[in-house]
């Protein structure tokens, strides 16, 4: 009987995942990752995880990763904002913590696999006497979470199971209700991975002090540039941001399109202004990660391939093509894209397979 460690968060997705694994005959153990001590919901989540393991009659462990989480995820986040980019801590959390530290720790418990409640699928294929794993989108397109797993590797995929990949969220809720799970109607977690919803300015101010500067309004059409407000520091704001810019009295909403990091200046424009849009971007070689190197070899050979891109999680898929260069990859979108944000991850798909990613 294969042994699986399921990452239990106390939520309905990981709980149903544990049930499905046990139903399939796996020897299941539940593990709660204690990553952040300042989340008021942590004890409620632990309680819910314990209730599920008691109901399913499986062992339960708590692994304390607070020190490593602070080093790998929180530090990465602060460093990114200090540089003036907009980092994605959820993706790094998956790479370093869930499929890094958690996998490593679980293997010490002599498990064969780890499992999570992500809405993704994996596929095993044989090519040239080698086993290759593909990462596929989840059946539920509204809940598909493949974007957040764009930095995991072949070893991590080989040791991971995703019980919810072929289910919809609605089906998962129905299973939980049928089993009388205590958390069947529990709301999905939101905000920063393991931290929850936060006010980003208040959170960053713990490590990054305010530094006032000017906000400039710019119009490409009129070629005008004038001071229209003040800000608290370029690091607190992101490209495409409209809210919390402390700008009043304008006829139309204004959006951040540029940061002058050296001089601590922010520039805003109206939504229709071309400065907010890009059709071509270049991704540096050192930031690129391939789930399967076969696609890199294919790109090198053909020099150009058609893909679907996502420049952040909750947006429509974008028809694009990738062009190979020695220093990186040029990405050309079919249409102009709003607020292409430095520091975020661009993820590439062919059909429903996630093939790779890079940092904008």
Domain range for 349 is: 276-359
Q: What is the CATH number of the domain that holds 182?
A: 3.40.50.620
> Does residue 202 lie in a domain region?
no
State the catalytic residue, choosing from 41, 150, 193, 269.
Answer: 193
The CATH number covering residue 351 comes to 2.40.30.10
- Percent with pLDDT over 90 in the chain: 79
Domain tally for the chain? 3
Does residue 178 sit in the same domain as residue 248? no
User: Which letter does DSSP use for residue 274 in this model?
Assistant: G
Please list the alpha-helical segments (H only) found in 182-263: 200-204
Stretch 237-249: mean pLDDT, rounded?
Answer: 89
**Per-residue H/E/C for 32-55:** EEECCCCCCCHHHHHHHHHHHHHH
Q: Look up 150 and say whether it is catalytic.
A: no
- Catalytic residue flag (residue 193): yes
- The active-site residue out of 93, 150, 225, 269 is 93
Q: Which pLDDT belongs to residue 223?
A: 78
Instruction: List, for residues 87-110, the tens digit of each pLDDT value.
Output: 999 999 999 999 999 999 999 999
- In a domain, residue 201? The reply is no
Tokens encoding 238: 């992101």
The answer to whether residues 122 and 236 belong to one domain is no
Which of 267, 273, 271, 332 lies closest to 305, judged by CA? 332
Helix-strand-coil percent breakdown of the chain, rounded to 5? 30, 35, 40
Q: What is the mean pLDDT of residues 333-351?
A: 97
Are both 17 and 135 inside the same structural domain?
A: yes
Show which of 233, 251, 272 is a domain's final residue: 272
Grade residue 38 by pLDDT with cuts at 50, 70 and 90: low
Closest CA to 52 of 86, 21, 88, 8: 8
**Residue 234 shares a structural domain with residue 182:** no
Q: Which residues contact 195 (CB under 8 A, 6 or more apart)?
A: 36, 38, 39
- Among residues 194, 221, 251, the one where a domain terminates is 194
Mean pLDDT of 327-343: 97
* Residue labelled with tokens 């049928």: 178
Same domain, 67 and 150: yes
> What is the end-to-end Cα distance of the chain in Å, rounded?
44
The reply to whether the predicted model has a pTM over 0.85 is: yes
Residue 45 lies in a domain: yes
Calculate what percentage of the chain has a pLDDT beyond 70.
96
Report pLDDT digits (tens) over 273-300. Answer: 999 999 999 999 999 999 999 899 889 8
pLDDT band at 191 (very low <50, low <70, confident <90, very high): low
């Amino acid at each position: 009987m294969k042994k699986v460690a399921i990452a239990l968060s106390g939520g309905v997705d990981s709980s149903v995942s544990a049930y499905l694994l046990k139903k399939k005959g796996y020897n299941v153990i539940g593990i709660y990752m204690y990553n952040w001590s300042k989340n008021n919901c942590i004890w409620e989540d632990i309680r819910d995880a314990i209730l599920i393991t008691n109901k399913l009659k499986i062992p339960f462990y708590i692994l304390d990763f607070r020190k490593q989480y602070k080093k790998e995820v929180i530090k990465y986040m602060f460093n990114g904002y200090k540089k003036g980019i907009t980092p994605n801590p959820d993706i790094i959390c998956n790479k370093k913590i869930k499929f890094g530290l958690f996998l490593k720790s679980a293997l010490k418990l002599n498990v064969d696999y780890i499992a999570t409640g992500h809405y993704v699928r994996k596929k095993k294929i044989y090519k040239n006497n080698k086993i290759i794993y593909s990462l596929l989108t989840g059946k539920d397109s509204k809940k598909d979470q493949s974007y957040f797993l764009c930095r995991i590797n072949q070893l991590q995929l080989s040791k991971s199971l995703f019980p919810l990949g072929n289910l919809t969220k609605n089906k998962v809720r129905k299973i939980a209700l049928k089993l009388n799970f205590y958390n069947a109607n529990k709301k999905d977690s939101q905000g920063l991975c393991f931290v929850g919803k936060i006010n980003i300015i208040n959170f960053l101010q713990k490590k990054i002090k305010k530094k006032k500067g000017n906000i400039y309004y710019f119009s490409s059409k009129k070629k005008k540039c004038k001071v229209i407000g003040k800000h608290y520091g370029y690091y607190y704001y992101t490209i495409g941001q409209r809210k919390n810019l402390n700008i009043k009295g304008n006829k139309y909403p204004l959006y951040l399109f540029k940061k002058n990091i050296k001089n601590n200046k922010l520039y805003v424009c109206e939504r229709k202004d071309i400065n907010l849009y890009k059709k071509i971007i270049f991704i540096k070689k050192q930031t690129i990660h391939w789930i399967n190197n076969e696609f890199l070899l294919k790109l090198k050979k053909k020099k150009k391939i058609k893909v679907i891109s996502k420049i952040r999680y909750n947006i429509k898929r974008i028809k694009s093509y990738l062009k190979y260069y020695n220093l990186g990859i040029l990405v050309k979108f079919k249409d102009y894209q709003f607020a292409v944000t430095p520091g975020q991850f661009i993820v590439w798909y062919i059909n429903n397979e996630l093939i790779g990613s890079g940092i904008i």
